[in-house]
Structure 1
Amino acid sequence: METQNLGSSPDVRSKNESVKSVDRRNFLRSAGMTTVAGAVFLAGCDKDDDMTPTPTSVDLGSGDVGILNYAYALEQLEAAFYTQVVATPFSGITDAERSMLTDIRDHEIIHRDFLKAALGNNAIAGLEVNFSSIDFTSRASVLGAAKLFEDTGVQAYNGAGNLIKDANYLLIAGKIVSVEARHAAAIRDLLMPNSTSFAGDDIIDAKGLDKAVKPADILAAVKPYVKTTITASNLPTS
């Protein structure tokens, strides 16, 4: 997965851009409400604190359970990242940026908790993350990591959709990935405002479709950010 220079100079962050960011944030919040409304009920079924030690390795399992655990692992990573971003805001963060990132955090937490509730006793344990390579005081570092996680999330859901057998699970995955795509576009717009990067050719193929990446490649891409070893040898491949 490619890396880019993800910095953004302060002079582009004008008052007009802040107003545009508020508009994007409101759109983002509205766009996520369908998934939020559907997930809150199920997520509320599992609110007990998990006091068990974090395991050093987890196995995702097989079939649809394995794919749901795969998605659950990625949502754990994203939820943990945005929770840290909001808890320790980067230097110079604007109110609009803080609000947008808080909305994204809330979406990711709901996605995580929804999948955990759907999996029930089949859910993998909580993962131990590793964000040592991310400078949470730096806007460029935080938004660069956010771009990586969001682009990876969209490609992951697209790459796993054809492996899901249960139509109900496929429907839910489709609703989640559409929200993740909105996140990805919003983060890219923050990094490179007034550009077409929100749908760049690094993520959109020649047919105008989002790219789809296999689970093995996605797990390799996020491995530096997860201390827990994730075993996925039993996931379906077709």
Structure 2
Amino acid sequence: MHILKHLSSEKDEKVMPNLQRRNFLKYMGMGAALATATSLAACHKDHDYVDNGVSLGSGDFAVLNFAYALEQLEAAFYTQIVASPYSGITPTELEFFTDIRNHEIGHRDFFKKALSTNAIIGLEVDFSSIDFSSRASVLATAKAFEDLGVSAYNGAAQYISSTDTGKAYLLLAGKIVSVEARHAAYIRDLIEPGSFAGNDVVDANGLDTVRTPAQVFAIAGKYIKTKINANTLPHA
């Protein structure tokens, strides 16, 4: 059973030197501004654990915590792949999965820093249903996670406020979802060479899939052991 408990960014910093020295500094340019906005918000901890689960908070912070939860899940998944590669993995595949892991860790740590005291706790995940020794199992799960991530960002954007801070969050989400889409295209190409998308995620108008937070958690909940209370998420 592959269960990673209470993930911490400190451990992962050791395995992502390239991101730490170069790319993460780019993220933190906007992160400083968002952290300032966060520090001006109410200091009570809406994310404290109660009987009905960890609350995501309210307003824009709830939307960011929603994204933070998904990034925790993806970072944990790709960390596991790199730590115990599937049978027959090629050096090129391992290199690309390492890059994806670093991207997801960067996304996760960015949200944690931007949310500051409003961030939810580190989630406990359960990957016992995934056979990490099987290429087919890993790629199928990676495809599902990446497609889910893209649709989650697409669906959550409408809930971000129209304030100046909300606009900054929206810009950030756009930068991250585009990276997630690149991951999704690469995974699909690994499964079926020459492919990068399909009509299961892109409609006849060339528009990507959109999922509501409830739809996202209905899928992702299988892999998240920590109980999450998403009732405070904004509604369009």
Give the TM-score taking structure 1 as reference length.
0.78
Match of 1:100 in 2: 96
Instruction: Report the Cα offset of residue 36 of structure 1.
Output: 4.4
Percent identity reads 61
CA displacement 1:60-113 (0-9 Å, x = unmatched): 111100000000000000000000000000000000000000000000000000
C-alpha separation in 1, matches of 2:230 and 2:220: 13
CA displacement 1:138-185 (0-9 Å, x = unmatched): 000011110010000000000001111110000000000000000000
Say whether residues 1:80 and 2:72 are aligned partners. no
Instruction: Check 1:213–1:206 CA distance in 2 against 1; reply closer, same or farther (3 A cut).
Output: same
Instruction: Check 1:36–1:204 CA distance in 2 against 1; reply closer, same or farther (3 A cut).
Output: farther
C-alpha separation in 2, matches of 1:160 and 1:208: 19
Match of 1:130 in 2: 126
Match of 2:232 in 1: 234
Match of 2:171 in 1: 171
In structure 1, list runs of 5 or more residues that go unmatched.
Answer: 1-33, 46-54
- Which amino acid in structure 1 is aligned with residue 123 of structure 2? L
C-alpha separation in 2, matches of 1:101 and 1:58: 30
Query: How do 1:132-211 residues align onto structure 2 when only pairs under 5 Å count?
Result: 132-165=128-161, 166-194=166-194, 196=195, 198-211=196-209
In structure 2, list runs of 5 or more residues that go unmatched.
Answer: 1-21, 36-48
Match of 2:16 in 1: none
Give the TM-score taking structure 2 as reference length.
0.78
CA displacement 1:36-63 (0-9 Å, x = unmatched): 44225659x9xxxxxxxxx693111111
SS across alignment from 2:125: coil
- Which amino acid in structure 2 is aligned with residue 174 of structure 1? G
Which one of the candidate residues 107, 119, 129 is aligned to 1:111?
A: 107
- Aligned pairs, how many? 195
Root-mean-square deviation over aligned CA pairs: 2.1
8 A contact 1:161–1:173 mirrored in 2: yes
Match of 1:39 in 2: 27
8 A contact 1:35–1:175 mirrored in 2: no
Instruction: Report the Cα offset of residue 35 of structure 1.
Output: 6.6
Match of 1:121 in 2: 117
C-alpha separation in 2, matches of 1:76 and 1:188: 22
C-alpha separation in 1, matches of 2:175 and 2:113: 17
Match of 1:51 in 2: none
- Which amino acid in structure 1 is aligned with residue 181 of structure 2? A
